[in-house]
Structure 1
Amino acid sequence: MTWHVMLEVVRDGPVPLGAQIADQLRQQVERGLLTPGTRLPSSRQLAKDLRVSRSVVVEAYEKLTGEGLLESVRGSGTRVAAHADTRIRKSVVLVDRAVPRVRFNLLPGTPNPATFPHREWTTSYQRAVESARWQGLGYPPLLGVDRLRTELVSYLGRVRGVLGSPDDTMVTGGFAHALGLVCAALRELGIDRLAVEDPSHDRQRQFIEENGVRTVAVPVGPDGLEIEPLYASGVRAVLVTPSHQFPLGVPMSPQRREELVRWARDTGGWIVEDDYDGGLWLEQRGRHLALQPTGPDRVIYAGTASKLLAPGLRLGWMVLPPRLTALMERVRVRRDLGCDGLMQLAFADFLRSGMLDAHLRRMRTRYRAQHSALMRAVERCLPAATLVGPVAGLHAYAVLPEGVDEEALVDRALGLSVLIKGGRIFHDRPHTARPGLVLGYTALGRSGIEEAISRIGQAYEQQHGGICRAS
């Protein structure tokens, strides 16, 4: 099939042909004329339409792919990137006014959809359809399809150190689904308060409250969640991100992990471990395994495919302390009838075949390069900021100097077509927190990262003067 796009080039002008093509495509994306997912002509076809060399078109496509505006999917050609939708709803960042379209989206937490292993996943899903019997086509068990629970226990044991049994493993529709079940189970146990890290995800705190459980903020220090305030709070359950704390990125130290499990045993409390990006540790050393093996009798371990593959799969899991399994099943039977059986069988095949391991190996290599690009860009263009925490996951946390107007900086960056989140929104007391930025860097190519940070540096310079160094 032939695809068309309206472009014109001036052969005798001062601007190179490739730059003309890239500039026109970029403008059409920014104006919304080319919407996310729109398929573009092949480089060969567009070169023929414009009567230019194919290498000129390839150069333009590669430039825009590096900026994150286009994505090349094997077997599907070149498309406008799904995350290039600049019409962000105002509830994402600002409350009082609409958000203009942006070129650079640095919101944290979502992998680049262009990296999804389409061919491998299609292979696994086809095998699932072909092999499906009752568990794939009928109502699945509440705990999940047997084949997937078995594969999950094997995978989590060798990759995250998790101790568990298929009989105490539950498949969920992502972490939010799992957290809703946990909140209901806590209420059944007579627990109506859940300690959360300070800072932590603001929407997660809201979700917990809406599920009938009050949140109690407990500060995070250099070694992770502070234990003395946890004891003082009197709570009997706590939600933590010990391997890569969100948003600060600090891992919980081995001593702090032991102290946390001791708190749970002393108080009869429960620990909910959100291992939200487990498997995406990017440093060569110092990898942190899950907290769960330190106290499998007191830790509810929860993971998800959202950061490893794609949030659209709606796949998550919990490894439960055996004494809670029956309770979680009773809670669940009142809320839903299980998760997509075919999707579970496909993911089981994806795990068993080693394709997830291979995919994550590729992603770690890619993300290391992108994080290195981020570090260089921050050092060059935003030297007043300091990146903290290890190289891991899908975001980095940048601490800003005291006195910086974080909200104004975010607004100025937005005016330069860069969408970022300030760090204060994640704190229980935002106005007392030190200013910072949460930088989701994995959805952009390296040139896009550099351009985005350069624009944030320009925004900073507009506020403070002379702080952004030229490239």
Structure 2
Amino acid sequence: MTEAQTNSAQPPPVTGADLHLELHGSRLRAGLTAALRDAVRTGRLAPGTRLPASRSLAADLGVSRNTVVNSYAELVAEGWLTAQQGSGTRVADRTEPPPATPEPPSAAPNSRRPRYGLLTGIPDLANFPRSQWLAAARRALAAAPNDAFGYGDPRGRVELRAALADYLARARGVYADADRIVVCSGFHHGLALIAHVLKERQVRAVAVEAYGLDLYRDLLTNAGLDTPPLAVDEHGACTDDLARLPEAGAVLLTPAHQFPTGVALSPQRRAAAADWARATGGLLLEDDYDGEFRYDRQPVGALQGLDPERVVYFGSASKSLAPGVRLGWIVPPPEMIPDIVAAKGYGDYMTSTLEQLTLAEFITSGGYDRHVRSMRQRYRRRREQLVAALHQRAPGIRVAGMAAGLQTVLDLPPGTENSVIQRAARRGLAVSGLAQFAHQAPDARSPQPPRDGLVVNYAAPSDSAWTGTLEALCDAMPASAIGSCSHA
């Protein structure tokens, strides 16, 4: 290792202005020595840290240089510091036993971390377009006006809102312009804003699909809203039943690709939902979480196009790019925007400007479209491989839902869901059961019939783990569904 490499591995020197010391007592040298010793003992000054020159530290502390020199010398003699010609004064390397920490539950002898995972919510993170995103970030940063680094419009940067308006109109059939869009930090943040606005408007309940994420039902409940369920069948949510829910002032839907059952809301039920909203003054909350990904035909357009004045449209980069980007968007009726902006002021007033400008550049340069097309092909191949593996290894299992999105449902024989999940766990595979997503109101007049199934996210596994994941999944299927070539 060269001398330059050796020096680069050391912590940077600490200037006097960077070194926080509290001197106590009337004796300056004793107080300085004690403060330095305490900083080293507690780890605030790490081993190898170069301390300020004695003249610099003395000037900053308002003491004589001799006081600092003598204090350094005493700590060198005690072994807390080292001093070498040309290297300055540094914190000495000290070997101390690590503090005892309790063993985390995941490290308990009888527990095993899953080797494979098919849990929902995560896209293919390994294929995030790093180089293209970095190039877009550089271009966006170079072109950013000075005011982009200040406190801006809580609706979001106009560059991103304009880019989104064009993209959503072109790709999703959404009626929008830049002034009609509010940028947020993802769907969860956007739904929280709308829940606050609805509660302020005296809405008592938001109907939800009988299958969905409890995270969002809990968000609505915590905002003081009831969440009566709408049954879901092969045609999507039963929106005709909204007429039986007079307390509902809004309904949360995933019309392009129902989560998690994977069906599309039929045209008749889309029309019924829009008719209900117009007749009652209610709102349709459209979660278009993976609307770009359909594999057997062109993606179904957004529900918002039926009646832009009665639909609050939500989109995000969480599935198309990655959850870590933390960008989402709301396209509400214009009259709601002041209330949404006011609600935003209570929490996340602004979303990262640099991330917004980067996404705007990524969209306008064509990078976003290219990435979505690439991932559409990738996810389609994954789904086809899943279907083929099950056809060969577990022919008794039906892959439900349409060819779209990042996940699908595997229908299981009645009464087998829990046993299949346990069999999968023994094979190192983490997967969710359909029952985990079911929502049943205590006083439901027409309860959703029970259904056994697995919700399989085929997008998430890495390429290296994909073959093993399919093996573990097929091996976990019920004996009645496994074909003769199984080695379970």
Category of TM-score, reference length = shorter chain:
0.7 to 0.9
Q: Aligned residue for 1:280?
A: 293
Asked if 1:367 is matched to 2:379, the reply is yes
Cα-to-partner distance string for 1:382-409 (whole Å, 9 max, x where unaligned): 22221111111111111112232x1221
Q: Following TM superposition, by how much is the alpha carbon of 1:466 offset from its aligned partner in structure 2, in angstroms?
A: 7.5
Q: Is 1:303 the counterpart of 2:308 in the alignment?
A: no
- Asked if structure 1 preserves the Cα contact closer than 8 Å seen for 2:207 and 2:228, the reply is yes
Report what 1:452 is aligned to. Answer: 469
> 1:65-76 alignment to 2 at 5 Å?
none
Name the residue aligned to 1:321.
Answer: 333
- 1:122 aligns with 134
List runs of 5+ in structure 2 lacking aligned partners: 2-103, 441-446
For the 8 Å contact 1:271–1:300, the answer to whether it is kept is yes
CA contact (8 A) 2:395 2:481 kept: no
2:450 to 433, 436, 443: 433
Q: Quote the residue 1:259 is aligned against.
A: 272
Aligned-pair Cα RMSD in Å: 2.3
Deviations 1:324-373 (A, max 9, x none): 11221122223332100111001000000000001111111111111110
Q: Structure 1, residues 138-181: CA drift from partner, whole Å, max 9, x if none?
A: 11211000111001000000000000121110000000000000
Offset from partner CA, 1:288-334 (integer Å, 9 cap, x none): 01000001000000000000000001000011111211221122223
Distance 1:377 1:445 in 2: 17
Q: Is the 8 A contact 1:373 1:450 kept in 2?
A: no
SS in 2 for 1:171: strand
Report the Cα distance in structure 1 between the residues aligned to 2:390 and 2:413, rounded to whole angstroms: 14
Q: CA deviation at 1:447?
A: 7.3
Give 1:239's match in structure 2, choosing from 252, 267, 271.
Answer: 252
1:470 aligns with 2:485: yes
Which residue does 1:416 correspond to in 2? Answer: 427
Among 382, 399, 414, which residue is 1:387 paired with? 399
Partner Cα separation in structure 2 for residue 248 and residue 144 of structure 1: 33
Query: In structure 2, how many angstroms separate the alpha carbons of the residues matched to 1:148 and 1:437?
Result: 38
Seq. identity, % = 37
Q: Which amino acid aligns with 1:266?
A: A
**Is 1:189 matched with 2:201?**
yes
1:141 aligns to 2:156 (yes or no): no
Q: Is the 8 A contact 2:293 2:299 kept in 1?
A: no
| Alpha-carbon contact 1:192-1:214 (below 8 Å) kept | yes
Tell me how far 1:130 sits from its aligned partner.
Answer: 1.6
Structure number, greater radius of gyration: 2
Corresponding residue number in structure 2 for 1:78: none
Does the CA-based 8 Å contact 1:107-1:439 persist in structure 2?
yes
CA displacement at 1:456 relative to structure 2: 2.9
1:198 Cα deviation (Å)? 0.8
Asked whether the 8 Å contact 1:382–1:454 carries over to 2, the reply is: no
Q: Name the aligned partner's letter for residue 424 of structure 1.
A: A
Q: Is the 8 A contact 1:135 1:341 kept in 2?
A: no
User: Which AA in structure 1 matches 2:288?
Assistant: D
How has the CA–CA distance of structure 1 residues 193 and 162 changed in structure 2, closer, same or farther, with 3 Å as cutoff?
same
TM-score when scaled to structure 1? 0.76
What TM-score comes out, normalization by structure 2 length? 0.73
Superposed displacement of residue 99, structure 1: 5.9
Summarize deviations over 1:419-441 as a string: whole Å, max 9, x none: 10000111124995210000001
Moved more, 430-439 or 344-353: 430-439
Distance 1:259 1:112 in 2: 35
The alpha-carbon deviation at position 415 of structure 1 amounts to: 1.1
Deviation at 1:109, TM superposition (A): 2.0
The answer to whether 1:350 aligns with 2:362 is: yes
- Give the direction of change, closer, same or farther, for the CA distance of 1:89–1:268 in structure 2 (3 Å limit): farther
The Cα of 1:468 is off from its aligned counterpart by 4.1
- What stretches of structure 1 of length at least 5 have no aligned partner? 2-87, 91-96
Equivalent residue, structure 2, for 1:55:
none
Structure 2 vs 1, CA of residues 398 and 326 (structure 1 numbering), >3 Å: closer, same or farther?
Answer: same
What count of residue pairs does the alignment treat as equivalent? 376
Task: Summarize the Cα distance change of 1:428–1:226 in structure 2 as closer, same or farther, 3 Å threshold.
Answer: same
**Aligned to 1:177, what secondary structure does the other structure show?**
helix
Which of 153, 167, 175 is the matching residue for 1:155?
167
Q: Aligned with 2:455: secondary structure?
A: strand
Pair 1:397–1:446, CA change in 2 (3 A): farther
The answer as to whether partners of 1:148 and 1:347 remain within 8 angstroms in 2 is yes
1:439 is paired with a residue of what secondary structure? strand
Aligned-partner residue type, residue 459 of structure 1: A
- Taking the aligned partners of 1:246 and 1:469, their CA distance within structure 2 comes to 33
1:268 aligns with 2:268: no
8 A contact 1:220–1:226 mirrored in 2: yes
Counterpart-to-counterpart distance in 2, 1:450 and 1:363? 19
Determine if the alignment matches structure 1 residue 132 to structure 2 residue 144. yes
